Structure 1
Amino acid sequence: MDRVDRPPSRRAFLDVTGATVAAGLVASGCSWDSAEPRRPAPSAAAVPTRVPATGRHQAGVTSPRSAQRNLLAVVADLATAASPGPLLDELGETILALTAGSDPRLLGLSPGDLTVTVGVGPRLVRTAGASLPGAVDLPRFSRERIAPRERGGDLLIQICADDALLLPTAAAALLDQAGDRVRERWRQSGRRGTDVPVAEGRTAPRNLLGFIDGIVGPHTDAEQERDLWLAGPPAVAGGTLAVLRRMELALTRFAALTVAEQEAVFGRRRDSGVPLSGGTVASGPELGAKTPDGRYLVPVDAHVRRANPTAVGVGHMLRRSYSTDEPAPGLLFISFQNELRTFTATLTRMDTSDALLPFTTTTAGATFLILPGFDRQHPLGSTLFR
């Protein structure tokens, strides 16, 4: 039964909290993630490249190309009397000031590669149009233990940066700008693990379960136009749909399996990431490949088989997921796609017999329309809320 939490106070809502996070990216599934290009190792002299906040798409989805190491996601509700248009306009102006380093609420910190990505939940989307992408709530699935306050929400603020100090500072500035017009539901910090090579010019992180994660996804511009970005209607063109799921992982129980049993759960070799059907780490699994005695090389319940986009009949998801250690070791799963069905059909198929799911419990979940890109002439959210 879901527990009912008391809503946070205004003081708690504006509280700036540090982010204590686990190293390594936890995967709900190898085939759900998008590999990232190799990024240089950090050094004391390294200065992160600033990421433009304006453009056709919001930053923080495909830019920067290699996801920053730290993330803070804040999910909130809009007050009944508040209008989304003016609020989003002000948040957009604050984002421009924060990423330019001109907002005094940064307290002297350099913005570095800070990105802020804003999405609106189904309830707000429906006020603009019941048939718009993003107007449908995320359905319930098995293996969920989600408190009412941690299901759904009107507003997503995703903050990413290599410098972990920027996350709570930027969040406090944005929430201060929003004031009493929003009420926080939940927040989650996370950190990505170190990337390892998987192909020419591409890397992927190893996750807390020991496997390389981030091998399959929409990598090229053409694939992203097909599977990631919304082409229309005009009010949402250039946006995308996000799914957030916070999961706890049964690390001790998974570690009790033999290496061969762990590899059967994923369908890949733990040390190299190569599919059990052979090839290279970048190879797609050959789902029809069998042993001489007729057994599938990739087990029928292996994650790479159950979540395979071709087998499901959907497009690829772009994933920027982060590992967590509070409230428990796990994963903040974040996927971006231009159809919610890409996620729901995949998880529905996984729900029936995916060997990885019994090691996960989902404790928070929501979906959001990530608004199209913006600039000073075209304020954030202005295409949807005039």
Structure 2
Amino acid sequence: MPTPAPPASPASAPPRGISRRALLLGGGGLGLGVVATAVAVSTAHAPSAEPAASATSPAEGGPVPAHGAQQAGIARPATPQRNGLVVVADLDGNPDAATVLAALAAAGAAVDACTDPDRFDPIVLPDGPGDVTVTVGLGPRLVRAIDPTLPGADELPVFLSDQGLAAEATGGDLLIAVYASDAAALHPVADRVLAAIPGARRRWAQQGVRGSGSGTVVRNPLGYHDGIIVPHTEDELAESVWIPSGPAAGGTVAVIRRLRLDIAGFAALAPGAQDAVIGRERATGAPLSGGSRGDQVDLGAKTPEGEYLIPARAHARAAHPSFTGSPLMLRRGYAFSNAGPERDDGLLFVCFQNDLQTFVRTQHRLDETDDLMAFTRATASASFLIPPGRVGGAPLGAALATGGGS
């Protein structure tokens, strides 16, 4: 088990362009994904601690409409389903824009056959769709085939913490993310959507499960609350998550990181040392600078002896927006435990933002200054453009056809 590096002197002032308000507002819960590769608990603006009630939110366990301005499985439902499956696939050959758009349309039709209570395929889901959602994304190669100026066209860089990451678990052309309360629905739905896309073949996949809880807050595999500081309101989502303009307007950019955690090594630390690595109390989720679970961290708070209450290399400080200039990420974390001769437990980290650089800046910072990284190793990594949703009967991805190359 590697020993965390000794504390470094925290920065005394935020970089230019970061407001004093942003400095005073802290990063929140453990976004473990950015840990060894993506826990953006940073926030340039104070988000609401709990999601606002919405008359359009589906009842718990009930159908989640696949159509709308955004795809389901991102901000809908507000409380993510208990079970999730991420499938990353490749598309044969060198597809052009027309081929990619046809693949999206075919995937959208398959999604309807798995999620629409009036049109679902009973062969795939004999008991109906329940609350199944499917989110479909395009990897950088396919995005560039449509228009290289679209968001998501850039490859996710290789990070310092990606040493040893296998090529077959890096990148990919297609994302099919399936979520449901019933775990038995995950693989049949993913298989149906993948089979609908000519030339598509699996690259890697990971199934995971969330703990109990409402909204986005849940304990991660290390036992700490995650998903505390994320965008909840429509304004927050519009500012940080949804792409604001262009052919991809209303879509978002997803980063997927499979993170193997040294749970035993972390558990061997004394309880106080664990809290110091995270920057929050394990029992309550409250920041070490004081307050309750939903409160921002105060990076300037000190003990009477002049020591920072949030340690210099704590995760909450490392991911703070005053250092990264990053807005919020919307995160959906799922714990996994894979069978095999060696223990393979960790977090399937999924985050959404309207600019890939939000994640990239944060991860570079974490690689340099976050003690939590000593307990985390990425075993898969990819990024995808999530096209906007479907309105007015248009096929999935139709809006992207207004870009160049189609």
TM range (shorter): 0.7 to 0.9
Equivalent residue, structure 1, for 2:23:
none
Encode CA deviations 1:89-147: one digit per residue, 9 max, x unaligned: 11111111210142243141321110000000111111222221111000001222321
After TM superposition, what 4+ stretches of structure 1 lie above 6 angstroms from structure 2? Answer: 33-36
Equivalent residue letter for 2:374? P
Q: State the Cα distance separating 1:231 from its structure 2 match.
A: 1.0
Could you tell me how far 1:178 is from its partner in structure 2?
Answer: 2.0
State the alpha-carbon separation in 2 of the partners of residues 293 and 32 from structure 1.
28
Deviation, 1:305, is 0.6
Question: Per the alignment, do residues 69 and 107 of structure 1 end up closer, same or farther by CA in structure 2, a change over 3 Å counting?
Answer: closer
CA distance in 1, matches of 2:289, 2:278: 12
Q: Distance in 1 between matches of 2:391 and 2:350?
A: 25
On the 8 A contact 1:274/1:282 being kept in 2, the answer is yes
CA distance in 1, matches of 2:179, 2:202: 18
Whole-angstrom distance in 2 between the partners of 1:77 and 1:215: 34
Query: Which position in structure 2 is the counterpart of 1:12?
Result: none
Distance in 2 (alpha carbons) for counterparts of 1:56 and 1:166: 25
CA contact (8 A) 1:38 1:203 kept: no
Partner of 1:50: 63
The 8 Å contact of residues 26 and 322 in structure 1, kept in 2 or not, is answered as: no
Paired with 1:289 and 1:217, the residues of 2 have a C-alpha distance of: 23
Asked if the contact 1:72/1:188 (under 8 Å) is kept, the reply is: yes
What is the deviation of 1:56? Answer: 0.4
Tell me which of 244, 268, 272 is aligned to 2:280.
268
Q: 2:397 aligns with which of 375, 381, 386?
A: 381
Q: How does 1:53-68 map to 2 (within 5 A)?
A: 53-68=66-81
Equivalenced residue count is: 349
Q: Using the alignment, how far apart are the partners of 1:156 and 1:47 within structure 2? A: 25
Contact 1:114-1:159 within 8 A present in 2 as well? yes
Match for residue 280 of structure 1?
A: 292
1:16 corresponds in structure 2 to none
* Structure 1 counterpart of 2:305, one-letter code: D
Cα distance, 1:47 vs. partner? 7.5
Secondary structure of 1:178's counterpart equals: coil
Per-residue CA deviation, residues 36-58 of structure 1 (Å, 9 max, x unaligned), is 7599xxxxxx9821001001000
Distance (whole Å) between structure 1 residues aligned to residue 335 and residue 256 of structure 2:
13
Matches within 5 A, 1:254-333: 254-326=266-338, 328-333=344-349
In the alignment, what sits opposite 1:360?
A: 376
Cα offsets for 1:1-31 (capped at 9, x unmatched): xxxxxxxxxxxxxxxxxxxxxxxx9834576
Corresponding residue for residue 43 of structure 1: none
Equivalence for 1:247: 259
Q: Deviations over 1:288-315 (max 9, x none)?
A: 0111111100001000010122332110
- After the TM superposition, which of the residue ranges 83-92 and 53-62 deviates more from structure 2? 83-92
Are 2:243 and 1:210 aligned? no
Is the alpha carbon distance of 1:37 and 1:70 closer, same or farther for their aligned partners in structure 2, counting shifts above 3 Å? farther
How far, CA to CA, are the matches of 1:140 and 1:117 in structure 2? 25
Which runs of 5 or more residues in structure 2 are unaligned?
1-29, 54-58
What TM-score, normalized to structure 2? 0.81
Task: Give the residue type in structure 2 aligned to 1:147.
Answer: A
Match of 1:86 in 2: 102
Map of 1:151 onto structure 2: 170
Task: Please give the residue correspondences for 1:104-123 in structure 2 after superposition, counting only pairs within 5 Å.
Answer: 104-123=122-141
Q: Does 1:176 align with 2:195?
A: yes
Write the distance in 1 (CA, Å) between the matches of 2:125 and 2:290.
52
Contact kept? 1:205, 1:212, Cα under 8 Å = yes
Query: TM-score, normalised on structure 1?
Result: 0.86
Unaligned stretches of 5+ in structure 1?
Answer: 1-24, 40-45, 197-201
Residue identity matched to 2:157: P
**Once the two structures are aligned, what percentage of the paired residues are identical?**
45
Indicate the residue corresponding to 1:221 in structure 2: 234
The residue identity in structure 2 corresponding to 1:52 is P
